[in-house]
A = this chain, B = another copy of it.
Amino acid sequence: MHLSPLIDELIQALRCLPGVGPKSAQRMALHLLERTPDAAQRLADVLGRALAEVGHCSACRTLTEEPLCRICRSEQRDASLICIVETPADMLALEQSGIYAGQYFVLLGHLSPLEGLGPESLGLDQLQARLDQEPIEEVILATNPTLEGETTAQYLAEWLSHRDIQVTRLAHGLPVGGELEYLDGGTLSRALAGRSGFSIHQEK
């Protein structure tokens, strides 16, 4: 059941948004056309422009419409540290936490033989060039704690092992604010294995 072919097409097109099912897409289409046509026009314009102009940073491969992204351009960042993440969203999550002040390198994916994604898709030539030219002392492997992310971290650790560079991995353990009751066995076993001494005057 539909209103008209073009509205139907719009509802279908909205389904490409993550987390949007048929019911939400219908609600969005009618809302855009009926309530907020100006904002909808702006969305159509900006989306078209972003698709045409946004590419990848020539240094870290994150998404940007500029030749070099804001972080790679900055002179405030610690040039001796580089953090390797899977996606621009991961980089953004780290940036938004505000606790990291080094450089980044975005793999734009992970190793996944099932999806046909091998090492050649990760931009390692580009990473190698950076490691050769920049004063990098530590590489932080911040791939996801998933099977593919761990495999990728493992591969990168081996790929980096012949260099005189410190290679580290983000800690595994209890997420802050999480409850033991709801955590999976894998996380609990990593948290137990990585336990540390507890001092009464523990820093927060």
Taking Cβ atoms with an 8 Å cutoff, the residues of A that contact B are 1-7, 9-10, 13-14, 16-19, 24, 26-34, 36-37, 39-51, 53-54, 62-66, 69-70, 87-89, 91-92, 95-96, 98, 108
A18 touches which one: B9, B27, B65 (CB < 8 A)?
B27
Would you give the shortest CB distance from A49 to chain B, in whole angstroms?
7
- Asked if residues B88 and A47 are in contact (CB atoms below 8 Å), the reply is no
Give the number of copies in the complex. 2
- Asked if residues B65 and A6 are in contact (CB atoms below 8 Å), the reply is yes
- Asked if residues A89 and B30 are in contact (CB atoms below 8 Å), the reply is yes
Q: Is the interface of A mostly helix, strand, loop or mixed?
A: helix
Q: A1-B98, A65-B6, A96-B1 are in contact. Are A13 and B32 (CB under 8 A)?
A: no
- Asked if residues B6 and A31 are in contact (CB atoms below 8 Å), the reply is no
- Asked if residues B28 and A63 are in contact (CB atoms below 8 Å), the reply is no
13 contacts between A and B (CB under 8 A): A3-B92, A4-B64, A4-B66, A10-B47, A13-B43, A16-B43, A18-B27, A32-B50, A32-B51, A33-B54, A34-B88, A41-B48, A44-B51
A47 touches which one: B27, B31, B43, B51 (CB < 8 A)?
B43
Would you give the shortest CB distance from A60 to chain B, in whole angstroms?
11
- Asked if residues A17 and B44 are in contact (CB atoms below 8 Å), the reply is no
